[in-house]
Amino acid sequence: MNKKIVLLCVLALLNTGIVAQKTKDVWLDDLPIKSFSEGIPAVLPKTNAAGDSMKIKGIYYIHGVGVNSTSVLAFYLNGMATEFSATVGVDDRGIKNLPHKFYVIGDKKILFESGEMRWGDTPKDVNLNVQGIKQLGLLVLVDMDINKTYSNWANAKFKMKDNALPQTLPNSNEKYILTPLPDKKPKINSAKIFGVRPGNPFLYTIAASGEQPIYFTVENLPEGLSVNPKTGIITGQLGQKGTYKVNLKAKNAVGEAQKELRIIVGDTIALTPPIGWNGWNSWAKNIDRAKVIASADAMVKMGLSQHGWTYINIDDAWQGQRGGTLNAIQPNEKFPKFKEMVDYIHGLGLKVGVYSTPMITSYAGYIGGSSDFENGKITDSIINNKRAFRYIGKYRFEQNDAHQMAAWGVDYLKYDWRIDVNAAERMSVALKNSGRDIVYSISNSAPFSHASDWARLTNTFRTGPDIRDSWLSLYHSAFTLDKWAPFGGRGHWLDPDMMILGNVTTGSALHPTRLTPDEQYSHVSLFSLLAAPLLIGCPIEQLDAFTLNLLTNDEVIEINQDPLGKSARLVSAENGVQIWLKPLEDGSFALGIFNIAEFGKTPQSYFRWGDEQPINYALEFNRIGLKGKYKLRDAWQQKDLGIFDKSFQTTINHHGVILLKVFPVK
């Protein structure tokens, strides 16, 4: 037969699908599976989510992916897969009688649904034709408030055409900027209230935006304090309890600004939520002195400090051995000249935080605040078997460590363990007796049953697990906090964890956040409404214009830092829209209207499909307890919208927000 005719015949057969294209098996556990996960706890290849052998009803599997709690795995196939297969079930280490549901969803259609499965049930096989499917999602639904649920996608694999591989979902939505650039005239952006304990060192920086240089003065500054006119850094000491009202002034070549500050000398510090940076989601265990100093320098050079961003917090992995004159935790080799580093950061007008734990070892495997040895030392065998020593030892060193932090000039402590009241109180007392005001933040997943204890003992308390850069994680971390709201307030703030903006390392290598731009606006809005700590979790020097704009809107930050200190409450949740309302000190309100798009109501709602549309929404004032006329101001656009009577019409993007300041009109 003529070669040309043979070729034409082969092409014709390919077009009709009679001759199959070349395919290959791609095991999910051979992919960088963490980068596909939008769940909160760990997802692990070739093991269950506890890191042990994968076993369902006594049968071991060498291939597969182990997940925990509600799990979302999202794959972009772009029509390059032909089959998906797996065996699903609850791992033998799972919880008895807890229902799990497995789903496979392709381009919004449910391709497989397991029904309820429990520990001990026979696993179910999945064999699906996925020809032509662009996006495929693997979902496990289980109670998100229960840990160690352990579900398995055993033997999970794709058949992929040619040499194609599944990809992570593209996040190419336009990064639209809403907030206008700051004026050249000076504007003071510091919090309006500041707390300090009597006799303790005082450090407060007047944050001001505008054309540089800016010069600072303070009227009615009480005796014992002084201000540096070039930096706006106020230092000194106040011995008497009481409230001092001072007038901050900032002046440059274009104009001047002023703002009243109330200094309250008493028993309570952190009168507004801490606002700054934490190094874990930037560098994890790779943090070192140079990265910390670079972050502090970037806080100033990028202009964040002009908008009130203050804390530079070192997370886990700075700790060395116990020693020194106080037999306290000393820095490891990555942090030489620790006190010199702290002094340098203070010289920039910023504050410094560190990490510790009451356990023998931290989660990253470094020395903690207790030991089974009287001298508190940690041995190589303990370090090499760190997971076995995540408990509180016989000997405790809270006083040693608190006094060492105070001697260095530390301003913030993140204390991380399986939270209990006794350990929380011991460190609380030690910090208060250290001679320095050290903001006390406990982590993670504080039990709600002891919410009043966390409010009594700490300055911030983590309300949930470690956050991930996904809508599922953000929703679980922040949109479910209404029940916690009564326990947040001046000196004791609800903490949903770090912010998941910019480039982050949450569960995989440094990568741009997977939140869409709309989700990022919602993220910053809700954290501000909740009066949550604002801790940037990305390398500051890598901020792009969009993310920097998100973090430097003074009207949004002012909502977070409002002196009244009230957390927003969820006042309406219907038809896929949540409304959160926060009272402010001046008698106005901050109001967030969030399009959550019925998230969690259907299996499809756990995934982003790329065709989501905005909604039109009518806000009825009386339905959220507001009566009369109100002047509305768009906080993100910093623009007055007018006076409205009874209702307000708007459009909200998918997973987006309209953030308003609401002023009663008499």
- Give the DSSP per-residue string, 194-253: EEE-TTSEEEEE--EESSSP-EEEEETPPTTEEE-TTT-EEEEE--S-EEEEEEEEEE-S
Helices 421-432, 398-408: crossing angle, 10 deg rounding: 40
State how far the Cα of 559 lies from the Cα of 33, in Å rounded to an integer: 38
pTM greater than the 0.85 cutoff: yes
Residue 372 falls in the annotated catalytic set: no
State how far the Cα of 269 lies from the Cα of 432, in Å rounded to an integer: 10
- Where are the domain boundaries for CATH 2.60.120.1060 in the chain? 21-161
Nearest alpha carbon to residue 516 among 538, 551, 546: 546
DSSP conformational letter for 37: B
- Where are the domain boundaries for CATH 2.60.40.10 in the chain? 187-265
Sign of CA dihedral 411, 414, 415, 421: positive
Half-sphere exposure in the Cβ direction for 450 (13 Å, CA): 17
Helices 517-529, 471-478: crossing angle, 10 deg rounding: 10
> From the first residue on, what is the mean pLDDT of each consecutive set of 10 residues in the chain (666 residues)?
51 49 92 90 90 96 95 96 98 94 98 97 98 97 86 98 93 92 95 98 97 97 97 97 98 97 98 97 93 97 97 97 96 98 98 98 95 91 86 96 98 97 98 98 96 98 94 96 97 97 85 95 98 97 96 98 98 97 97 97 96 96 93 98 95 98 94
Q: Given the residues 416, 469, 518, 562, select the one marked as catalytic.
A: 416
Instruction: Residue 146: count other Cβ atoms within 10 Å of its Cβ.
Output: 12
Return the CATH fold of 21-161: Jelly Rolls (2.60.120)
Q: Given the residues 92, 411, 466, 554, select the one marked as catalytic.
A: 466
What pLDDT, on a 0 to 100 scale, did the predictor assign at position 509? 83
φ and ψ at residue 94, rounded to 5 degrees: -75, 180
- Where are the domain boundaries for CATH 2.60.40.1180 in the chain? 571-665
Bridge partner residues of 195 (DSSP): 264
The CATH architecture annotation of domain 571-665 reads Sandwich (2.60)
- Where are the domain boundaries for CATH 3.20.20.70 in the chain? 278-555
The CATH architecture annotation of domain 278-555 reads Alpha-Beta Barrel (3.20)
Q: What is the CATH number of domain 187-265?
A: 2.60.40.10
What pLDDT, on a 0 to 100 scale, did the predictor assign at position 10? 46
Residue 562 falls in the annotated catalytic set: no
